[in-house]
Amino acid sequence: MPKEKLKTIYVCTQCGETSPRWLGRCPSCGAWNTMAEDVVAEPAKPSAGGARTAVRTPGQTSLQPLKLKNISTTEEKSRIVTGIQELDRVLGGGIVLGSVILIGGEPGIGKSTILLQLCGEVSGRRSVLYVTGEESVRQIKLRALRLGVPQENISLVADGDVDEICGLIEQTKPGLVVIDSIQTMRCTDIASSSGTVSQVKESTSRFLAVAKSLEIPIFIVGHVNKDGAIAGPKVMEHIVDTVLYFEGDKTLPYRVLRAVKNRYGSTNEIGMFDMTGKGLEQIDNPSQVMLEGRPVGISGTCVACVMEGTRPVLSEVQALAGKTAAPAPRRTASGFDYNRMYLLLAVLERRAGYDFSGRDVYVNIVGGLRLDETACDLPVCLAMASSLLDLPIDEKTVAIGEVGLGGEIRSVPHLETRLREAQRVGFTAAIVPRHNLKLLEAREFAGLKLIGVSYLREAVNAIKLKQ
């Protein structure tokens, strides 16, 4: 057999595109500076006779299709409920047996911490294998002690050889496996070093094969690295069953776990955790956390209610419109779409008559959430108008509604769920689209006054009236 030749290629760490030359910008996904060097084995050129053997015989196959109706689903049995409710919800009701779950996130965000806590929860019922390629077993032991994780049923191994680890899984058949992290894993038969695209992809595929054949769920940690020096979770997203991202500002104590892909559940759900001295704690009441420390009686702040999956979360929108010294006013938005802010400013100017020319406008969503929903248009407009007029909005008022280009307030989905949340947290008034209001019965919301508005001007008048 001819020997395989090694060749150097360049692989985009964002999307996996390959190129024989180094490129500053990936031609496929357009990302800059993400092409990393990789060594792959060039497949040996088949000899003239060898190529023929690959041609199939017509009409022959070994595949056996199954009738859809004959395939059994024992859904209830095939999920492990972890006991960490925030995680269960994001996973779609627990860990599916045989699934491979990727947890991506920046280094230091808490991936190892949440997985060790998960191991602790599951270890009461199943044996757990924790594979670490980053830390020593002693370090994990110290962390486990700090987190108060039960240690009876958890085995540790510090290694990075994928085939050895797969062998160990096949031999010991644990009930749950954690691989921390994929960037430290290595298939010895592939020439490139660990962390390269080909290593990451191949290692993931091998773990996937073991997970499927033995029905063992495997969690894989994948570091997100902004400078693209190592292959990130993006290159393995299509291989695994579920992709979760662990996000959060490292300066803020809470973290958000978000499903980006889930073959066994919805991708809308988020889980919220608080990073404490004793590991991650679940946040049962996210609205309260988001609204903590809110300033009272100052202009330019308004409360919005966003749907994070099936859960409503109240969040504070802040705006500041100050006189500009520069020839072109400065506008920035953090946690809110920049172009959408421009659009809303144009609507406020043209349809409601508020003049923002010659003013810098800053919009900020407090607490690090990103508000992408149209239901947040109205609170953003009201916060900007409130800042311009220096008119504080009553702190117990929430605003919900989409703003159209005609300055009209349009209806939003799940209004009732949002209002229930506002009522629960103790809000006394809600500015909502009049269209939506017709479908709701006012008496259902005891203590919460519903103010229906059809136009932006009416909504601004409503906050003036509340003074």
Residues in touch with ligand TYD (CB under 6 A) = 105, 107-113, 143, 146-147, 275, 277-279
Residues 6+ apart with CB under 8 A from 215: 97, 98
**Which residues have a Cβ under 8 Å from the Cβ of 225 and sit 6 or more positions away?**
13, 106, 107, 232
By C-beta, is 107 or 447 nearer to Mg ion? 107
Helical pair 377-389 and 338-352, crossing angle rounded to 10 deg: 60
The one of Mg ion, ligand TYD, none whose footprint includes residue 275, by CB under 5 to 8 A per kind, is ligand TYD
Q: How far is the CB of 279 from ligand TYD (least distance, A)?
A: 4
Q: Using an 8 Å Cβ cutoff, are 192 and 40 in contact?
A: yes
The listed partner (Mg ion, ligand TYD, none) that binds 440, CB under 5 to 8 Å by sort, is none
Q: How far apart are CA 240 and CA 101, in angstroms?
A: 6
Size of site (CB under 5 A) for Mg ion: 1
Query: Binding to Mg ion (CB under 5 A): which residues in 66-125?
Result: 112
Of these partners, Mg ion, ligand TYD, none, which one is at the site of residue 464 (CB under 5 to 8 Å by kind)?
A: none
Alpha-carbon distance of 389 to 303, in angstroms, equals: 17
Q: Which is nearer to ligand TYD, 238 or 278 (CB)?
A: 278
Tokens of 196: 């390269």
Contacts of 409 (CB under 8 A, 6+ apart): 378, 401, 402, 403, 433, 434, 435, 453, 454, 455, 456, 458, 459
Nearer to Mg ion, 112 or 183 (CB): 112
Cα gap 364→374, rounded to integer Å = 16
Comparing CB distances to ligand TYD, the nearer of 20 and 277 is 277
List the single partner that 143 binds among ligand TYD, Mg ion, none, CB under 5 to 8 Å by kind. ligand TYD
Judged by beta carbon distances under 5 to 8 A according to partner kind, the member of ligand TYD, Mg ion, none in contact with residue 255 is none
In the complex with ligand TYD, the residue whose CB is nearer, 108 or 426, is 108
Nearest to Mg ion of 108, 353 (CB atom): 108
- 270-276, strands of its sheet edge to edge: 154-158, 128-132, 176-180, 218-223, 100-105, 242-247, 254-262, 270-276, 279-282
d(CA 121, CA 448): 40
Q: How far is the CB of 343 from ligand TYD (least distance, A)?
A: 37
Q: Which of ligand TYD, Mg ion, none does 107 bind, CB closer than 5 to 8 A by kind? A: ligand TYD
**Smallest separation, CB 112 to Mg ion (Å):** 3
Least CB distance to Mg ion at residue 108 (A): 8
In whole angstroms, the minimum distance from the beta carbon of 150 to Mg ion comes to: 20
Residue position matching structure tokens 């605003």: 399
The site partner of 132 among Mg ion, ligand TYD, none (C-beta below 5 to 8 Å per kind) is none
Q: Tell me the Ramachandran region of residue 192: left when phi exceeds 0, alpha when psi lies from -120 to 50, beta otherwise.
A: beta
- By the criterion CB under 5 A, which residues form the site for Mg ion? 112
